[in-house]
């Protein structure tokens, strides 16, 4: 089905409405039983989405490990179009460079800055935010799954080298200096 990013915030977050999501992101109340048993009574679950789900906001590492097309694959495709050998060579080289640079950039971060910047604002206002990513195969409000908890500084979570795991409930805070 789809990835959903769930954020867990204090109930007062909903009442105050002072930390609004950036343009293009939406918040929808949700209540998943696997998450609910891991949060406090005064906290609420919200799906953080871009459109109808969070697939655009999370990219799993294994999505980048897929086999990339080879030069031979591109050459055959372009030859069928009747292209010259020189044109095929230029096009395949350009295409392969693009694929390689795209996969490196995409692999450097699993959660986009628009999300981590928003989470930082929530942490600064409320002291804490929790976040969980899950691939839902069934109804969001009924699917059961195992959740493990991780406490992490929001700045470490925002680091492009930090791997964001599926089904990990991250409690994000900011260390005061």
Answer whether 131's CB lies under 8 Å from 6's CB.
yes
Closest CA to 16 of 126, 131, 118: 126
State whether 40 and 117 are in the same domain.
yes
State whether 118 and 80 are in the same domain.
no
End-to-end, the C-alpha distance of the chain in Å comes to 42
Question: Which residue(s) pair with 5 in the sheet?
Answer: 48, 133
State whether 102 and 18 are in the same domain.
no
How many structural domains compose the chain? 2
Domain that holds residue 150: 2-60+110-173
**Chain segment 78-136, per-residue pLDDT in tens:** 677 676 777 667 666 655 554 454 443 433 358 999 999 999 999 999 999 999 999 99
Is residue 65 pLDDT above 50, yes or no?
no
Q: What is the mean pLDDT of residues 53-81?
A: 64
State whether 73 and 126 are in the same domain.
no
Question: Which residue(s) pair with 133 in the sheet?
Answer: 5
State whether 126 and 53 are in the same domain.
yes
State whether 151 and 118 are in the same domain.
yes
Query: Cα(124)–Cα(155) distance, rounded to whole angstroms?
Result: 12
State whether 139 and 53 are in the same domain.
yes
**pLDDT at res. 70:** 55
């Amino acid at each position: 089905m789809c990835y959903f990013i769930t954020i867990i915030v204090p109930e007062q977050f909903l009442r105050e409405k002072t930390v609004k999501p950036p343009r293009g992101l939406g918040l929808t109340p949700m209540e998943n039983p696997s998450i609910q048993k891991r949060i406090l009574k005064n906290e609420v679950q919200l799906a953080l989405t871009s459109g109808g789900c969070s697939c655009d906001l999370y990219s799993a590492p294994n999505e980048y490990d897929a086999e990339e097309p080879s030069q031979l694959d591109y050459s055959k495709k372009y030859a069928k179009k009747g292209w010259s050998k020189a044109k095929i060579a230029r096009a395949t080289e350009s295409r392969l460079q693009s694929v390689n640079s795209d996969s490196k950039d995409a692999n450097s971060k699993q959660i986009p800055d628009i999300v981590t910047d928003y989470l930082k604002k929530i942490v600064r206002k409320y002291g804490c935010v929790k976040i969980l990513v899950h691939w839902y195969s069934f109804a969001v409000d009924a699917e059961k799954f195992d959740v493990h908890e991780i406490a992490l500084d929001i700045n470490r979570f925002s680091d492009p080298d930090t791997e964001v795991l599926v089904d990990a409930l991250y409690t994000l805070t900011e260390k005061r200096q």
